[in-house]
Amino acid sequence: MEDRQFGRIRFLCGENGGKYPFNHSLYIQGDNLRVVVDPACSHAKLTRLKEEGVDQVWLSHWHEDHIHYMNEFEGCTVWISKRDFPPLTDLNIFMDWYGLLAPDQRAYWKKIMLEMFDFRPRQTACFIEDDQLIDLGGLRVQTIATPGHTPGHLSFYFPGEDLLFLGDYDLTAFGPWYGDVASSIEDTIRSIHRLKNIPASRWIVAHNTGLYEENPGPLWDQYESVIYERESKLLAALEKPKTLEEICACWIIYGKPRQPKEFFEFNEKVMIGKHLEYALGQGRIVCENGRYRRT
């Protein structure tokens, strides 16, 4: 995969195919402002980009793999949805938003955030409004509120280039992520539908495939269907009542145990927790004496 230029928009391919802890970034060159979106593609590429000039950093959301090299642009203003800003102000808040409660989990993630992602508390930022039309000079950007993955997740549509940046609605076979404390399955589904209906001719996602120059077509439905497949597997597992720990041991999300344990066991648990909340709200399961069962 290579970097590509589309008019004033540059697709910056991330290391390791844009897989975590990297992503694919954008460089936007307006007459008035030059912007890098989600600066986590490659330290070398972003270092060179500074020589071309960067005025602002835009974040689609607050996750660590999207702020990876943000500190390389200390002189630039950071723009983000107000709803997603609190985790950037304090490492404890950051971990709270992930739902990291156990001391060993917090110690594990604190080390990662400081050593791998160079987390530095940020007390100020500028806020991008939902569905705001921004003129960068010779280039317009339509911000699109796409909550679910995070409460303030933003996607960006460039009408002049007919290009849509989906952020972490990445159309991967793994499916959507909605495991944070403030994530939402319902909002995720609504955001997928909204993005699917935007009439673009190019689509850029933050991870893996990265660039689509033909309509992703069935990938939209496959991506959404992962949610319902997880739900079906959960209900099948609850043919007999189970505790949360017993459900997690089924590895519905990841399919099998994976390493590092501290990362994947936690992720499995929070995603299962969201599906339990969702199914409880629909009346499809009940919880009695710490065990979940189908109704």
224 belongs to a structural domain = no
Question: What is the DSSP code string of 132-167?
Answer: -EEE-SS-EEEEEE-TTSSTT-EEEEETTTTEEEEE
Cα angle 260, 42, 130; round to 5: 90
Instruction: State mean pLDDT over 2-16.
Output: 97
Could you list the residue range(s) of the whole structural domain that residue 259 is in? Answer: 229-294
What's the pLDDT band for 203 if we cut at 50, 70, 90?
very high
CATH number of domain containing 77? 3.60.15.10
Number of domains into which the chain is organized: 2
Query: Which of 173, 192, 216 marks a domain boundary?
Result: 216
pLDDT in tens, 172-201: 999 999 999 999 999 999 999 999 999 999
What's the pLDDT band for 258 if we cut at 50, 70, 90?
very high
Cis bond upstream, residue 176 (ω within 30): no
> Residue 247: what pLDDT?
98
pLDDT in tens, 112-165: 999 999 999 999 999 999 999 999 999 999 999 999 999 999 999 999 999 999
Cross-sheet strand order for the sheet of 9-12: 4-6, 9-12, 25-29, 34-37, 56-58, 77-80, 126-127
269 belongs to a structural domain = yes
**One-letter amino acid of 119:** F
Report whether pLDDT(205) > 90. Answer: yes
pLDDT in tens, 93-103: 999 999 999 99
pTM recorded for the entire structure: 0.96
CB-CB contact of 203 with 162 (8 Å) = no
> Residue 262: what pLDDT?
85
51 belongs to a structural domain = yes
**Together in a domain, 93 and 156:** yes
> Residue 261: what pLDDT?
86
Phi-psi region of 17 (alpha: psi -120 to 50; beta: other; left: phi over 0): left
**Together in a domain, 235 and 286:** yes
Average pLDDT of every residue of the chain: 97
Instruction: State mean pLDDT over 20-44.
Output: 97
Instruction: State mean pLDDT over 27-37.
Output: 97
**Together in a domain, 257 and 191:** no
**Together in a domain, 60 and 30:** yes
